[in-house]
Amino acid sequence: MGKIFERIEDDLKNWLELQKMFFVATSPLAREGLINCSPKGQDTFRVLGPKLVAYQDLTGSGIETVSHLRENGRVVIMFFAFEGSPKIVRLHGTGEVLESGHPDFDEVGSRFPLRTGTRSYIRIAVSRISDSCGYSLPLFEYKEDRDVLDKWTEKKGEEGIVAYQREKNMRSIDNLPGLSSPAD
């Protein structure tokens, strides 16, 4: 059934990068703080090394993942097979937020499609790699990516995105710090 892996080998890397959707979960340290689980899609995930991954963080109405990572770094990413053989993979680790101006922002960003709505890259040093069966999960047929976010950010433009991030992405719902500063 479930296995623990020492590293992300090529076969697992290929499987991870083929998945159309994944989930990111984080939590603040405060007991009363809200746990966050955020779905991610499009072509936003990359394996950077045997124990290093990253995803492209797109502008949205919340900033929970960024806030939680800034506070404590704890994160888990979960993938599961919507098609083919059943499988669930979890990557536990410590994440860091790479905003514009971070020394590694451009290098990590060069591995992803250019998007107006990119607010940061989340890089994760993976400490535990595990899989489980996924036998009870349903099968879904992938139709296509939604382009709503890309169209919205293109319509807003760079200045509109910066204004939106200043309004919505500076503090989490638990009032933790979010973005350092929107990319100008």
Q: Where are the domains of the chain?
A: 3-134+145-168
pLDDT value of residue 29? 96
User: Residue 28 pLDDT > 80, yes or no?
Assistant: yes
Query: Residue 183: pLDDT band by 50, 70, 90 thresholds?
Result: low
User: What pTM value is reported for the model?
Assistant: 0.95
pLDDT value of residue 1? 62
The two tokens of residue 107 are 């290098």
- Across the strands, what pairs with 49? 52
Please give the CATH architecture assigned to the domain spanning 3-134+145-168: Roll (2.30)
Q: Are 76 and 91 in contact (CB under 8 A)?
A: yes
pLDDT value of residue 181? 78
- Across the strands, what pairs with 78? 23, 90
Contacts of 135 (CB under 8 A, 6+ apart): 86
The percentage of residues in the chain with a pLDDT greater than 90, rounded to a whole number, is: 96
Q: Nearest to residue 22, comparing CAs of 65, 69, 51?
A: 65
pLDDT value of residue 175? 95
pLDDT value of residue 2? 86
